Amino acid sequence: MARKTEKVLGYDIDLISLSGAVDFVMGKILKREGIQVVTVNPEIMAIAAKNQEYSRILRHADLVVPDGSGITLALKLKGIEQEQVPGIDLAYELIKTCRDMKYSVALIGAKEEVLQTTKKRLEAEFRGLDICFSRNGYFSNDKEEGIINQLDETDPQLVLVALGAPKQELFIKKCREKIKYAAFIGVGGSFDVWAGAVERAPEFFRVMGWEWIYRTFKQPQRIKRIYKVLPVFLFKVIIEAIRTNGIFVKKEKQ
């Protein structure tokens, strides 16, 4: 299946729906064609602008879904209506489909207590789900190789890595040097939400694309992270939109 993409700040973003993304990933799992999925937002773009290795990962990712409303806004400025594909929703649907297809799932990341609660809750929600491997996200660099070897031995088909960006994508890159057959996705703070340690935004905020506002309000430590990034991101995408298409030009629908 050929990807349909559009560039935002030089990176290909997939113009795909949530169900399209699930089908894409499951198709790859079925054929044992390993992939890396990145759920992109303005923060990730800011990291890529400063970190060459991370930028390369983003450029070569097999699927880049617009997780943040900043990315869908950037596309809108180019005349493209694209729905947001929140990473947490994509990961949830992938887990459900893996249960249905009897594919194994590995969970890596978050604090031990959060990880254990996530595991228990997912197993209760998706009866029969095969969680073949789980490991908390607090390990030193010298432990990485051992963890990757253990993970490989369990033959995972879907690997969810919740270490936050850029750590998770850099760790996935290392995993993929050895494990070439699995689908990897970085899921940020999703385990915290599934374990109930962090509350997800109410539906209204999600539908409006304002989940980030809610999360910032609930976790004020995010303010510094987001407000360092957002103005620069908006400035850059507006310039890009004017340069490429002329701003507010309706181009096409997804």
For ligand UDP, the binding residues (CB under 6 A) are: 109-111, 137-138, 162-165, 167, 188-189, 191-192
Residue number with CB closer to ligand UDP (29 or 106): 106
To ligand UDP, the closest distance from the beta carbon of 215 in angstroms equals 8
Q: Closest distance between ligand UDP and the C-beta of residue 252, in Å?
A: 30
Of the pair 6, 43, the CB lying nearest ligand UDP is at: 43
Q: Identify the three-state secondary structure at position 10.
A: coil
- CA angle centred on 144, ends 11 and 219, rounded to 5°: 60
For residue 163, the minimal CB distance to ligand UDP (Å) is 4
Question: Of 90 and 241, which CB lies nearer to ligand UDP in the complex structure?
Answer: 90
Report how far Cα 245 is from the mean position of its chain's Cα atoms.
Answer: 28
Burial of 73 (0-12, 13-18, 19+ CB in 10 A): buried
Residue 107: CB minimum distance to ligand UDP, A: 11
Burial 1-26 (b: 16+ CB within 10 A, else e): eeeeebebbebbbbbbebebbbebbb
Q: Name the residue nearer to ligand UDP (CB basis): 55 or 216.
A: 216
- Which residue number, 176 or 200, has a Cβ lying nearer to ligand UDP? 200
CB nearer to ligand UDP: give 138 or 217.
138
Q: Smallest distance from the beta carbon of 79 to ligand UDP, in angstroms? A: 29
Sequence letter at residue 75 = L
> Crossing angle of helices 42-50/69-77, nearest 10°?
80
Residue nearest to ligand UDP (CB): 137
Which tokens sit at 28?
């790859």
Quote the least distance from Cβ 191 to ligand UDP, whole Å.
5
Alpha-carbon gap, residue 72 to 163, rounded angstroms: 24
- Using CA atoms, how far apart are residues 250 and 93, in angstroms rounded to an integer? 32
